[in-house]
Structure 1
């Protein structure tokens, strides 16, 4: 209690006692024998207040006696003269002494003698140095323990570093950051447009970005027709992050024509030691944003990347110039290698195995030894593999261990239908390879293959088989690939497009037409999708057990369901046929690992939902695997991820 308040309370207590005595005497003289009872409450209140003040006074006396016992008079005088806060605590954290600076600046002149300091101050008494934010000020606190005559004491020195902290914050807020902005699909938008339309689109883009940058104190420069660079301060980057890059929504409201709208991809480099490093981070983030389909911003963080936007469908690029150049580069690598290994993801499906087999047929026409690396037991394409073995020979396929044992420095490893290190058919084979090529259509993930000589990545393509079909058309071959290879490639396209319903573009149908032209048999390919009666019943059981939550269907597969890795995504596809269901999720367990297969028609971005659970995929097709968790817990996490996504 503050001393001035103690004095006032003493005066009030004495006055109250006097008034009580006077009132009792007056009542008695007027013949009211028990009149003193009327004054009893006031008397008790005064007595309690007096006793409390006496206890506080005695506590102060005990404190002074204890401190005088521990410290000399010279030491106490020195404490008061310090130009910083000082307090002394005993082993129990009881406040034994503090100087005037500590009393005025930190305690606000409150009397805290003999009380526990940690009860009202966020002080950790166990550390030597700490920083504390208290009452709009920042303090650096140092503890100095010493042995008293009776017990161990600790002195705490409080240095006001508010000005230094403000300088540090101003420095951090003013750090320059690099932001790269690219207009998605700019060349395709203006390719067949009139000159006036081209100028209008260019002016609209520039005006929108200038208005965007004018809200900050940054600068904006155009690097190319479709690419800009902006230099901003850190505080403005933090504001943009808090606003979740609202410019993405503003751009989406601008129509380039009846079918297409403007979208941006943004990469932000901030928090780096140098401007050069910030620019490198911005390039890396822009690559991630583009690799995930565009229409989003990517920001590098300590733990990886943070993404904003990505709600629109990836825009198909009609130009094949990039494909033609990459096809030439890949063929040069193949011809300059001793042999080629083709590898997809674990539990290879028709797109993974089909694209590998189709590409293997083209490489054979170059007279280069080639093998497809696949686990013969753990895959979802046993029917396709059996057909290829019959048509192209069993020697085409190698197990992961056989490939590891025979790989050389001159072997080229081509990875298809994935770029994620975590789900490769054989991580050890990838690590042993000196030359790596990646061909994939999935949206880019953080743990991607980062040492590829050629990284052919088109997130707007329907499938890896579509990408391989386009590549082999630009290979310089003496003949067309055989009909078996065409069947393999068509099967992958049909799988990932759900028979040309989902994720199809003009180039998808052009690729299918080319495959039909060189001998693909649609009836034969359709036979690859046939399943057993057991899998059909399992699929029906999963669909029947689904729970509808809002516009989402969630089902948990019964334990022991046969061919569950194949059945789960099929069941998710069937759930989408239910009215008002925009996304479907099937949860199942294989060897203590809970998996979730997610599907949608595009209105719900299941990739973003699965990424929150450690997975990934496409906007309309994604999955994840979670270890050490029950199916019910996985469902609860899924519902929470859906809720978080809907908030954004």
Structure 2
């Protein structure tokens, strides 16, 4: 047997048994029967001795196993207690049943400070352990010592530690990782595109010296904010700037609601003229290229919503700040003419045109749809209007439609009918909304690729992407006003019927509250055209 085998497990009587047995055989052969008898007695004595020794061996072996097991248990307990990894055993309700020497560091080396794990970590997620045999709880912070841990736990069988169910928890520190991750996030670059959105309009009303002085003050304000955030400002056009800062300062900017907006508005020129800013901020992008795309997209949204505001775009969110100034009419007739020409080309290249507004339609939505219907019809294409429900606001105009222009009724479709009618060359025109979920038939936008968007609302986070043409003018009073301008600039003069002109006028009147709200020169020009 192996040298490490205990002596009581070694059996040396077998050799004697074999020798005596051989002697008996020899004595029998030689006829020495007296010696055979003596050998037999010895053999019997050896057998009795061997049996007795076997019983004693079993007792010693059992004692050895007990002692060995105790040593293993003591070793296990000792290794747990003095483990370099903090370990504790808790009950399902968080009661602290046992903890090792390393875990004492959390308790300032006092055994009696806490009785429940929630006294150490207030929001310890006990619910996440309920019903699980094992698992991991990530990034738990112990506020008292400012360290972070991943807690690996598994359920002990009932009765293994006391009379109740319990969990053993191993605390694996990841403070270094969390610190590095936070440092990385804090130092990630943030790109901010800033534009004086009324620069050209105000410049025409100011002398050169005053304009330069006001612009210099804007630069001074931007540089002040950049220096406070360890960043810099680069002016790349007369009224356009790029600011770069670290991510850790963005939260402060958002908490202060981009105070630079108000600081710049406070700069007054002659006749109380002042600049306003549009700010597009890109954050948490995968790379610098995407970061700049986020900034550009955010700036477009800020300008599309009327300016004088900041938009912050992250991977999955868009936030808005500011936007308190009254929208000032900035669009030009040139753009309306360009939009009219482009729309005419797109309609001519389509098999048919489906027009839809927003759910719970109003007179602006329906009036604009009727106006666009007349445009499509003038181009020799078949127009359709999606209208699933005629509510109280539309009832009077709908009844008049049935009496005076019955062909409109034949062209009104439900969502299901529109889906059946649409083909690959169908054009869909969305009016008075730019939010897909708010349209009469969002399913159409999933089926049809050719989309034109006309709206007068400030751009929101949800936006219909990849349109062939979009005409978003938050300075306009209504979508009916925009459609009326498009009608005027069509190449061929469109003769609106009295019903169509009245529908467009009704949309303008309702949205301007009878020309008392958000009404400009262009609004009255459109109304004048419709009255002719």
> TM range, normalised to the smaller chain?
0.7 to 0.9
Structure 1 residue 184 displacement after superposition: 2.1
Say whether the 8 Å CA contact 2:355–2:369 is kept in structure 1.
Answer: yes
Residue 131 (structure 1) aligned with residue 139 (structure 2): yes
Q: What is the rounded CA distance, in whole Å, between the counterparts of 1:257 and 1:357 in structure 2?
A: 45
Cα gap change, 1:79 to 1:189, in 2 (>3 Å): same
1:245 alignment partner, SS class = coil
Cα gap change, 1:474 to 1:157, in 2 (>3 Å): same
Residues 206-265 of structure 1: per-residue CA shift (max 9 Å, x gap): 222222212111222234333322222110111111222111221222235536432222
Residue 248 (structure 1) aligned with residue 258 (structure 2): no
Say whether the 8 Å CA contact 2:107–2:113 is kept in structure 1.
Answer: no
Say whether the 8 Å CA contact 2:114–2:120 is kept in structure 1.
Answer: no
Partner of 2:43: none
Cα gap change, 1:392 to 1:186, in 2 (>3 Å): farther
For residues 533-572 of structure 1, what are the structure 2 equivalents within 5 Å?
none
1:258 alignment partner, SS class = helix
Q: What is the rounded CA distance, in whole Å, between the counterparts of 1:114 and 1:382 in structure 2?
A: 70
Say whether the 8 Å CA contact 1:177–1:233 is kept in structure 2.
Answer: yes
Partner of 1:403: 418
Residues 379-406 of structure 1: per-residue CA shift (max 9 Å, x gap): 6233334445555542463222443332
Q: What is the rounded CA distance, in whole Å, between the counterparts of 1:159 and 1:376 in structure 2?
A: 61
1:333 alignment partner, SS class = helix
Partner of 1:322: 335
Partner of 2:85: 84
Cα gap change, 1:84 to 1:354, in 2 (>3 Å): same
Q: What is the rounded CA distance, in whole Å, between the counterparts of 2:196 and 2:509 in structure 1?
A: 31
Say whether the 8 Å CA contact 1:415–1:436 is kept in structure 2.
Answer: yes
1:380 alignment partner, SS class = helix
Indicate which of 408, 427, 442 corresponds to 1:412: 427
Partner of 1:425: 440
Deviates more, 1:490-499 or 1:115-124: 115-124
Residue 273 (structure 1) aligned with residue 286 (structure 2): yes
Q: What is the rounded CA distance, in whole Å, between the counterparts of 1:294 and 1:84 in structure 2?
A: 57
Partner of 2:500: 485
Q: What is the rounded CA distance, in whole Å, between the counterparts of 1:506 and 1:332 in structure 2?
A: 29
Say whether the 8 Å CA contact 1:70–1:148 is kept in structure 2.
Answer: no
Indicate which of 477, 496, 511 corresponds to 1:496: 511
Structure 1 residue 438 displacement after superposition: 0.9
Partner of 1:384: 397
Cα gap change, 1:387 to 1:89, in 2 (>3 Å): closer
Say whether the 8 Å CA contact 2:383–2:411 is kept in structure 1.
Answer: no
Say whether the 8 Å CA contact 1:486–1:515 is kept in structure 2.
Answer: yes
1:157 alignment partner, SS class = strand
Cα gap change, 1:381 to 1:90, in 2 (>3 Å): closer
Say whether the 8 Å CA contact 1:263–1:295 is kept in structure 2.
Answer: yes
Say whether the 8 Å CA contact 1:248–1:296 is kept in structure 2.
Answer: yes
Cα gap change, 1:260 to 1:327, in 2 (>3 Å): farther
Say whether the 8 Å CA contact 1:436–1:454 is kept in structure 2.
Answer: yes
Partner of 1:235: 248
Structure 1 residue 173 displacement after superposition: 0.3
Q: What is the rounded CA distance, in whole Å, between the counterparts of 1:444 and 1:377 in structure 2?
A: 27
2:486 alignment partner, SS class = helix
Cα gap change, 1:468 to 1:91, in 2 (>3 Å): closer
For residues 251-330 of structure 1, what are the structure 2 equivalents within 5 Å?
251-258=264-271, 260-300=273-313, 304-330=317-343
Task: Please give the TM-score of this superposition, normalised by the length of structure 1.
Answer: 0.63
Partner of 2:153: 143
Greater RCO, CA 8 A, separation 6+: 2
Say whether the 8 Å CA contact 1:268–1:286 is kept in structure 2.
Answer: yes
Q: What is the rounded CA distance, in whole Å, between the counterparts of 2:290 and 2:444 in structure 1?
A: 32
Say whether the 8 Å CA contact 2:284–2:315 is kept in structure 1.
Answer: no
Gaps of 5+ in 2: 1-68, 130-134
Task: Please give the TM-score of this superposition, normalised by the length of structure 2.
Answer: 0.76
2:327 alignment partner, SS class = coil
Residues 24-66 of structure 1: per-residue CA shift (max 9 Å, x gap): xxxxxxxxxxxxxxxxxxxxxxxxxxxxxxxxxxxxxxxxxxx
RMSD: 3.1
Cα gap change, 1:468 to 1:108, in 2 (>3 Å): same
Partner of 1:450: 465
Q: What is the rounded CA distance, in whole Å, between the counterparts of 2:272 and 2:379 in structure 1?
A: 42
Q: What is the rounded CA distance, in whole Å, between the counterparts of 2:260 and 2:71 in structure 1?
A: 66
Gaps of 5+ in 1: 1-67, 520-648
- Between the two proteins, the alignment pairs up a number of residues equal to 449
For residues 91-106 of structure 1, what are the structure 2 equivalents within 5 Å?
95=96, 97-103=98-104, 105-106=105-106
Structure 1 residue 487 displacement after superposition: 2.5
Partner of 2:58: none
Say whether the 8 Å CA contact 1:95–1:113 is kept in structure 2.
Answer: no
Residues 468-525 of structure 1: per-residue CA shift (max 9 Å, x gap): 1222222211455444433322221111111111111122122222333xx2xxxxxx
Deviates more, 1:444-453 or 1:231-240: 444-453
Deviates more, 1:85-94 or 1:213-222: 85-94
Cα gap change, 1:415 to 1:301, in 2 (>3 Å): same
